[in-house]
Amino acid sequence: MVKPPSGPGPERPRRLGIKEIARRAGVAPMTVSRALNDPEKVSPDTRARILELVEREGFIPNQLASSMRSGRRIIGTMVPPLINSGIAEQVQGMSDVCHASGHQLLLIQGDFTPDAEENAIRALLGWQPAGLILQAFVQSPAARQLLQAGTAPIVEISEVRGHEPLDMAVGVSNFETAYAMTSHLVDKGYRRIGFVSTPVHGNDRLQQRRIGYRQALLDRGHRYEAPLEVELPITPAGGADAVQMLTEIDPAVDVIFCSSDTLAIGAVQECHRRGWKIPDRLAIAGYGDVDLAVQLFPALTTLRVNRYAMGRRAVEQLLRRLHGETDVPRIETLGFEIIDRESA
């Protein structure tokens, strides 16, 4: 963080304000404000005169000033890197609801260390957001404190199981999803089910997925000598490596459950490269149902959670709270769906 930008700058030709519009329309500034925000409270012809002027001059109210005096209208969000994940869809969902409700989305993204995270939250809070949506894991206690001291409602998009939200939460139970997929694979007759995820350390979603996977195996009476689990970066290359590593651990592994489609796609490519038939020689299951999943050869068996809906829902929760609804559920669990295709 460098020090804030330049000073007041040279006297740029200031865009004209409400006062000037008022003067030209021969009314008080307040009347212009009303014509814009509360048109019924102004007589039709004054209103017409004002709006015509506004239109002609291209007047755009200063939201900074407006938010200061009346309601806040920024919704701040902190997200992990947009690249390579369903995050983009979530942001899209958030964005859509925000705009439909007259809010603006202020976005902070990055790969957060606890320190950077605290800064990000500080930055967000400085803009007096009406609400906050956090999609990154809040780790630092300082950040937590900052958030709790604040007045803005907060929605975390997160694992909903075993996580006490700061305020509200929207998400799926990653435990359940992974449990369901693993059971599904067992039911399809697979005997040696491998599991890949990114490093789960400090990421409760992935942790829950792994626990769900393990629990499902346990419940179905599967027990392996060596755990068929690896941790790899969430890239196609990671998926390819998973094939390598898991077949080394146990050559008899017959399906790999990848905790992300990205991994799964990489794994599928690796099989092609080896000339392995999918799902006969090795089956692959993913998580996420990205666009490509259905088009992949062979089409990817995966698990769909509606990320776009999650983004929407998050903002909607915020809005309900802002509108003063009192019965807004603290935790909103969204559904999921196993998409059984060809790869497993």
Partner DNA sequence: CTGTTAGCGCCTTCAG
Partner DNA sequence: CTGAAGGCGCTAACAG
Contacts (CB under 8 A) with a copy of itself, residues 178-207? none
The residue within the footprint of DNA, chosen from 47, 161, 210, 307 (CB under 7 A), is 47
> How many beta carbons lie within 10 A of that of residue 60, not counting itself?
10
Cβ burial of 222 (10 Å; 0-12, 13-18, 19+) is middle
**Contact between residue 39 and residue 33 where contact means Cβ atoms under 8 Å apart:** no
Span interacting with DNA, options 15-23, 95-103, 186-194, 276-284, rule CB under 7 A: 15-23
Closest CA to 137 of 212, 236, 208, 242: 208
Tell the smallest beta-carbon distance from residue 182 to a copy of itself (Å).
25
Q: Which two tokens stand for residue 24?
A: 């030209």
Q: How far is CA 56 from the centre of its chain?
A: 40
Span interacting with DNA, options 25-33, 117-125, 130-138, 193-201, rule CB under 7 A: 25-33
Q: Which two tokens stand for residue 214?
A: 């393990």
40 binds, among DNA, a copy of itself, none (CB under 5 to 8 A by kind): DNA
The residue within the footprint of a copy of itself, chosen from 100, 191, 199, 244 (CB under 8 A), is 100
Span interacting with a copy of itself, options 99-107, 194-202, 219-227, 252-260, rule CB under 8 A: 99-107
Tell the smallest beta-carbon distance from residue 283 to a copy of itself (Å).
16
Span interacting with DNA, options 24-32, 89-97, 155-163, 268-276, rule CB under 7 A: 24-32
Q: How far is CA 100 from the centre of its chain?
A: 18
Cβ burial of 187 (10 Å; 0-12, 13-18, 19+) is exposed
Can residue 27 be called a binding residue for DNA (CB under 7 A)? yes
29 binds, among a copy of itself, DNA, none (CB under 5 to 8 A by kind): DNA
17 binds, among DNA, a copy of itself, none (CB under 5 to 8 A by kind): DNA
Place of tokens 């790969």: 111
